[in-house]
A = this chain, B = another copy of it.
Amino acid sequence: MTRQSQVYGAIEAGGTKFVCAVGDASGKILKEERFPTQDPASTLARVRLFLRRGCEEFGALSGVGVGSFGPVQLDRRSAQYGYITRTPKPGWSGTDIIGGLAREFSCTVGFDTDVNAAALAEHRWGSAQHVQNLVYLTIGTGIGGGALVNGKPIHGVMHPEMGHLYPRRHPRDAGFPGICPFHRDCMEGVASGSAIQARSGASLEDLDAAHLQWELEADYLGQLCAQLVLALSPQRIVLGGGVMNQTRLLGPIRQRMRYWLGGYIDRNEVLSDDSGYVVTPGLADHAGVLGALVLAIDSAAGA
């Protein structure tokens, strides 16, 4: 058994999979486990088991961080702080996702959305170091977005839900109704991995480069980036999630973002193709769990 002085537990609680890790303050992951999200009781039991084993192996945890799919309650004054509130995911509405962790592991617990956490990780160790204002979007099964302003995550009345902004519909996509149960053809409804599958019967990587789906995806994601530039003025936009594994989307997305900005934003750092304004994550598919690690570290430091 190796004992180190400062180790932390990190939980990326996703709607599709959970990623659990033990890591240190430098962002080094010492132990990791991934498993599919099942019902809350058995999933959270598996989380606690992982963390107990982490303690056995590396010593007491100095903090635990949880970055969760949402919507979640981030208001510390609320009795539901740390809960997933009302989610369409069966069985998960009203789940206390951090409950008991502080007591069981005798440590502080940091909590935020999965996407705010990923933004924190990209800020600390990834593609957005030294950038105080940034947006992190994940384009996967769904679409979610987190943001830092002046170096801190946006909370507010709830938390941003950028994936549910409405795009203007592409003229060649008029026949597709969209799949969001709340909004039908919001961004998540027309540009998530699930939407691609529903529209084209395949995932993007299996479609020929000339397939219309590529053009639609770049247009919608370019629009989303443009909307966020206008609403939030980030200094960088990081695009993660499974769909963005298709990195050749990046150029067309930048192009469509410029189209939708319509010449109004005159900053070269936004408009130039090689400026690194719209980028993929520096931490690849570890942004989420490393974000949970940042939450753990910061909670232990009293932030």
Contact = CB atoms under 8 A, between A and B. Distances in A.
A149 B158 CA distance: 13
Interface residues of A, number: 43
A227 B187 CA distance: 12
17 contacts: A149-B149, A150-B150, A154-B232, A156-B234, A157-B235, A157-B267, A157-B270, A157-B277, A158-B265, A158-B270, A161-B265, A164-B264, A165-B227, A168-B168, A186-B262, A227-B231, A232-B232
A183 interface: yes
A267 B149 CA distance: 23
Interface in A138-183: 149-150, 152, 154-162, 164-166, 168, 182-183
B232 A156 contact: yes
Contacts of A161: 229-230, 233, 264-265
Contacts of A267: 157-158
B162 A71 contact: no
A86 interface: yes
Interface in A68-93: 71, 85-86
A266 interface: yes
A234 B155 CA distance: 8
A228 interface: yes
Q: Is the interface of A mostly helix, strand, loop or mixed?
A: loop
A54 B260 CA distance: 45
A263 interface: yes
A264 B182 contact: yes
A133 B154 contact: yes
A266 B158 CA distance: 9
A263 B150 contact: no
A269 interface: yes
A230 B188 CA distance: 13
B154 A233 contact: yes
Contacts of A85: 266
